Amino acid sequence: MSIFAGNMIDQQTLEDLEFPVLRDWLKGYAVGPTAHQKLSSLSPLESREDIIKELKKVFELKSIRDEGEVFPRLEFEELITEIKMLPITNAAIQLEGFLRILYASHLVNDLLVFFDKRQDEYPLLSDILEGSYYTLEIIESIELVFDRHGKVKDDASKELFEIRAQINVLRKQINRNFDKEIRRLLKENVLGDTKETFINDRRVLTVLSSHKRKITGTVVGSSNTGSLTYIEPQINIPLNNELEMLLDDERKEIFRILQVLKKDLMQHLELIKSYQSVLTAFDFINAKSRLAIVLDCTIPSLSEDLEIELFEAFHPILWRANKDAGKKTLPQRIKMDKFSRMLVISGPNAGGKSITLKSIGLLQIMLQSGLLVPVHKNSTMCIFENVLSDIGDNQSIANELSTYSYRLKRMNQFLEIANKKTLFLLDEFGTGSDPDLGGALAEVIFETLYNKKSFGVITTHYNNIKLKADQLRNAVNGSMLFNTETLEPTYTFSTGQPGSSFTFEVAKMNGIPDELIELAKEKLDDKKVQMDKLLNDLQKEKTYLTKLNNEHIEAQKIAQDSFNEYEEKKTYYDEKLKQFRESADTNHKFIQYGKKLTTYIHRYNTNSRKASINNPLLEEVKKFLAVERSKELAVKQKEKDALIQQQKNPSKKKKTVKPQKDEYNRSKIKVGSKVKLIATKQSGIVEEINQATVTVSFGFMRMKVNLEKLMWVQ
């Protein structure tokens, strides 16, 4: 019988991927036991609809937090006991139980007010409150009985008020009598150092045992050494007895008051049940949203097709460990679809192969458990029926199975289940047996899983698996990059080619003598040495090209910055030049007017007494002014005619310039588009667009490019 049922993910996979660690984090964010229990058993959901619904609930609450909205503080105690006791006649609810109901009513009312005008913005969270409604009846009923300190009020009933009044009078009398007795006995030096104490809530004298017969009263005890005797003064004995009876009356009256209150609250039992449901639901979602905030998680695009494309993906447990250690965690970019559904990852030991594999698996488990994932928002994920792993050194001690036998037994179960909606995570695939025989068996299993159209992420050192991935149409190699200069892993994943295990390089780095390494190489098959050397050389070449590309990107950035600076300065000076020219034209016009006016001034005759002597000059001035005025009116009329013409022919209002072909193509560029660099014709995939700057992945390289330098392909 298979250990797997339906589309549930088996417990071993959750353990392999360290999902229980995330559960523990989540439980730390929960307030009540119900959410704590649900988070303890959190596992992948079965239906796509349930997964999407849970993801959206968490995303809605995280959005509220991110936007800084004043959301009610989710602090409460659950009402399990109170809901159980309310319907039972004469059952007592503790004072704290009524206060829990009071606080729950306040909190749910606050939630109802918050979502009242936000139903369209947060529809799924609003739906949680569907069974509740706003009311002050519960609050008012409880506050009639309890004060703000959680104590039953004196005036909760007339009888209680009278009883407590008598208690206060009696206590004052008891204290007056006791203080008087203390003052008298102090003069006789018969009291111990402490003078008094309380036994059974009664104030008693601390008397030196040698003088106890001098005191009138009842002995109620003595010290451990017997040197002190505790005596209740005779004058207070009947008063204390009366006080006990009054206190008993008080307890009975409080019980009666609470029973009346309980009966009143019983009318709201269904609403109180809804309080429990609402608050525990929000507690559960809030824990998940708090984890999402800490890990900076989001909802990726959920594809109907089986495909994974992760941008800036982090392994959350590694990220947190590195953060605590003050280290930086490098993000991963991983893509799998129907054309690359089997991903074979190779590279040096301790280079990050297992972390990359576990990152894919853990993020998938998180998503299908209704948790947001630490990836870029442009990432794409899907839903698998099964996620199955074979990771680590597991063995069955009870059945006396070796690690290899255990893994084979588990692999046989995988082969029974495998279908096109299954994701396999196989770490150190094929190891544990004879390298040649184990490698051959691993290759056959690999082909079988491939033929079942399953998805898989596989880490391996076997060259035959790497070659098989290269030969199969829908499989792809990937490698963890290695710095061949420092002989250290870079923990960076790259798709497209297998990686060398760098066995001899790592051995040299760890101090193994060169002569031993050369002897080891002589014992190997020449083809294996050549294969490893080829992969090593490819890695070196790739590292060199990456370095060149980074230098090119930096140079391009410097050139672009310089060009942008030049464009800004050119625009600035062009505007200045335009202003100077306009100012010069205006000044020239005024100068011409000034010169003309000067000639008129010089020609104006002020010496002659003849009134008509300047008439010809004035006529000339009028003519000049008329001509200039007519020019201005002509310009204004021309502008007016043009405006009227535009209104009559709106289609000709503004001449539309047909965009050039390259501009049209650039307008089609979006995230995921295939593009080419116009200058080099190098093809790449768009990862991110930030205004005029585009981040493009060219195979194993990423670079930021100005939009104008790209051409859309598809």
Q: What are the residue ranges spanned by the domains of the chain? A: 31-135+268-294, 156-252, 301-499, 551-603+614-635, 660-714
Stronger pLDDT, 212 or 560, i.e. the higher one: 212
Max Cα distance, the chain (Å):
149
CB 381 within 8 A of CB 365: no
**What pLDDT was estimated at residue 265?**
95
Is it the case that residue 552 has pLDDT exceeding 80?
no
Burial class (CB in 10 A: 0-12, 13-18, 19+), 641: exposed
The highest-confidence range among 358-367, 639-648, 663-672, by mean pLDDT, is 358-367
Neighbours of 714 (CB within 10 A): 6
Determine what percent of the chain is predicted with pLDDT higher than 90.
Answer: 42
Identify the CATH assignment for 301-499 out of 2.40.10.10, 3.40.50.300, 3.40.50.2300, 3.40.50.970. 3.40.50.300
Closest CA to 484 of 526, 538, 551, 522: 538
Task: Give the model confidence (pLDDT) of 614-624 as tens digits.
Answer: 788 788 888 88
Identify the CATH assignment for 156-252 out of 1.10.1420.10, 3.30.360.10, 3.40.720.10, 3.40.630.30. 1.10.1420.10
Closest CA to 91 of 257, 279, 259, 335: 259
Q: Do domains 156-252 and 660-714 have the same CATH topology?
A: no
Closest CA to 353 of 443, 461, 472, 432: 461
CATH class of 660-714: mainly beta
pLDDT tier at 538 (50, 70, 90 boundaries)? low
Measured distance CA(27)–CA(286) in Å, rounded: 11
- Triad 660, 661, 666: Cα angle to 5°: 100
Task: Give the model confidence (pLDDT) of 599-655 as tens digits.
Answer: 878 887 777 777 778 788 788 888 888 888 887 788 788 878 887 877 777 654 444
Is it the case that residue 241 has pLDDT exceeding 80?
yes
- Record the pTM: 0.69
DSSP state of 422: E
